[in-house]
Amino acid sequence: ETGVTQSPTHLIKTRGQQVTLRCSSQSGHNTVSWYQQALGQGPQFIFQYYREEENGRGNFPPRFSGLQFPNYSSELNVNALELDDSALYLCASSLGQGANTEAFFGQGTRLTVV
Amino acid sequence: GEDVEQSLFLSVREGDSSVINCTYTDSSSTYLYWYKQEPGAGLQLLTYIFSNMDMKQDQRLTVLLNKKDKHLSLRIADTQTGDSAIYFCAESVKGSNYQLIWGAGTKLIIKP
């Protein structure tokens, strides 16, 4: 077990709705990254937060937004949900942003948009 | 653009060695990683290699990197049923805030 927890584990939403996914980092970790993993594919980088500021963003529209709190926990918000947003959303925490720092992943939130 | 490719499936007999291959396109990659994903579980980092190395060994795992051909492989010696999982190759690319670019994953199937 990595110490990274995500909630909820599963979620069903209707197209057009908004959703908030939550992630608690491993103790002491100041960097959180979010990924979208569609069925049968590898994860796609959404964005990264470092000390409460967005530190990098992948190729996702502005309706995907996030927050990092002073305790380094994080939220991913998705507005105007589309059917293609159905995926496993993974959060990873690490100490620092360097490529040689290990990122620990949570078990993910399975989002289904109907 | 960046791209990481892997075969979708690999089937091996228990006790044999498994070799999972990956190719990538970005020559500026700094680190290359192998992650394991079991059903219902998150991604677990198995090992990683810096781009100026050509081999790394860690117990049953051996990583080989051919930077000229942009080819990465993961060898699992004495494959066990517990090794059944999906294995992802990923690269971190300098100049992109160290975001990871992932392959689609190789499902390792163990035959008794």
Q: Residue A44 — very low, low, confident or very high, per pLDDT cuts 50/70/90?
A: very high
Contact B97 A56 (CB under 8 A): yes
A23: buried, middle or exposed (CB in 10 Å: 19+, 13-18, 0-12)?
buried
Nearest-CA distance from A81 to chain B in Å?
24
- Best of A105, A107, A109, A110 to disrupt the B interface by mutation (most B CBs within 10 Å)? A105
Nearest-CA distance from A112 to chain B in Å?
16
Let me know: does B5 contact B106? Beta carbons within 8 Å: no
Q: What integer pLDDT is reported at residue B58 of this predicted model?
A: 92
Contact B99 A4 (CB under 8 A): no
Lowest pLDDT segment from A40-54, A76-90, B23-37: B23-37
Q: What's the CA gap between B63 and B45, in Å, rounded? A: 13
Nearest to B93 by CA among B59, B36, B51, B52: B51
Q: What integer pLDDT is reported at residue B42 of this predicted model?
A: 81
Q: What's the CA gap between B12 and B84, in Å, rounded? A: 10
- Best of A5, A45, A101 to disrupt the B interface by mutation (most B CBs within 10 Å)? A45
Nearest-CA distance from B14 to chain A in Å?
25
